[in-house]
Chains A and B, each alone.
Chain A
Amino acid sequence: MAYIDPHIHMVSRTTDDYRAMQLAGCVAVTEPAFWAGFDRSSPEGFRDYFVQLTEVEPARAARFGIAHHAWVCINPKEAEDLGFARAVMALLPELLAKPNVLGVGEIGLNRNTKNELAIFEEHLALAEQHDTLVLIHTPHLEDKLKGTRLILDALRRHPRLTPDRVLIDHVEEHTVAAVLDAGYWAGMTLYPDSKLNPPRAVDIVECYGSERLWVNSAGDWGHSDPLSVPKCAAEMRARGHSADAVAQLLLENPRVFLEQSGRFAVPGLSTPGR
Chain B
Amino acid sequence: MGEETSKGSSSRDATVDRYFIEHRAKLLDVAAFLDRCDRATGGTAGEPGADADFRLEALRRAVGLLDDGNPERTRRILELMSDLSDTPLDASPGGAACGVPRVAPRTPDA
Which chain A positions have C-beta within 8 A of B93? 111
* Chain A contact residues: helix, strand, loop or mixed: helix
Which chain B positions have C-beta within 8 A of A150? 86, 88
Further contacts, 12 of them, CB under 8 A, given A145-B82, A173-B78, A241-B6? A110-B92, A112-B89, A114-B88, A141-B98, A142-B98, A142-B99, A144-B82, A146-B85, A150-B88, A173-B74, A173-B75, A248-B6
B4 and A240 within 8 A (CB) = yes
Which chain A positions have C-beta within 8 A of B72? 173
The answer for the CA separation of A116 and B88 in the assembled complex, in Å, is 9
Which chain B positions have C-beta within 8 A of A205? 7-8
Asked whether any CB of chain B lies closer than 8 Å to the CB of A236, the reply is yes
Asked whether any CB of chain B lies closer than 8 Å to the CB of A52, the reply is no
Which chain B positions have C-beta within 8 A of A240? 1-5, 8-10
A117, A141, A173, A202: the one within 8 Å of B99 (CB): A141
Which chain B positions have C-beta within 8 A of A174? 74-75, 78-79, 82
Asked whether any CB of chain A lies closer than 8 Å to the CB of B62, the reply is no
The answer for the CA separation of A71 and B85 in the assembled complex, in Å, is 31
The answer for the CA separation of A144 and B90 in the assembled complex, in Å, is 18
A143-B5 CB under 8 A given contacts A111-B92, A111-B93, A173-B74: no
Which chain A positions have C-beta within 8 A of B10? 239-240
Which chain B positions have C-beta within 8 A of A116? 88, 92
B6, B75, B83, B89: the one within 8 Å of A244 (CB): B6
A142, A238, A244: the one within 8 Å of B82 (CB): A142
| Range of interface residues on B (Cβ < 8 Å) | 35 or more
When C-beta atoms are compared, the residue in chain A nearest to B93 turns out to be A111
B7 and A241 within 8 A (CB) = yes
Asked whether any CB of chain B lies closer than 8 Å to the CB of A220, the reply is no
The answer for the CA separation of A228 and B70 in the assembled complex, in Å, is 31
**Using a CB-CB cutoff of 8 Å, which residues 1-36 of chain B contact chain A?**
1-10, 18-19
* Chain B contact residues: helix, strand, loop or mixed: loop
A239 and B78 within 8 A (CB) = no
Write the A231-245 contact mask toward B (1 if CB under 8 angstroms, else 0). 000001011111111
Asked whether any CB of chain A lies closer than 8 Å to the CB of B91, the reply is yes
Ranked nearest first, the 4 interchain pairs of A and B with the lowest CB-CB distance are A240-B9, A145-B82, A174-B78, A141-B97
B19 and A199 within 8 A (CB) = yes
Q: What is the distance, in angstroms, from A92's C-beta to the closest C-beta of chain B?
A: 23
A140 and B96 within 8 A (CB) = yes
Asked whether any CB of chain A lies closer than 8 Å to the CB of B100, the reply is yes
B97 and A245 within 8 A (CB) = no
Asked whether any CB of chain B lies closer than 8 Å to the CB of A17, the reply is no
When C-beta atoms are compared, the residue in chain A nearest to B2 turns out to be A240
Which chain B positions have C-beta within 8 A of A238? 1, 18
Asked whether any CB of chain A lies closer than 8 Å to the CB of B81, the reply is yes
A113, A146, A243: the one within 8 Å of B84 (CB): A146
Which chain A positions have C-beta within 8 A of B78? 144-145, 172-174
The answer for the CA separation of A148 and B27 in the assembled complex, in Å, is 30
The answer for the CA separation of A173 and B78 in the assembled complex, in Å, is 8
**Using a CB-CB cutoff of 8 Å, which residues 183-218 of chain A contact chain B?**
199-200, 202-203, 205-206, 209
Asked whether any CB of chain A lies closer than 8 Å to the CB of B101, the reply is yes
A239 and B1 within 8 A (CB) = yes
Q: What is the distance, in angstroms, from A232's C-beta to the closest C-beta of chain B?
A: 13
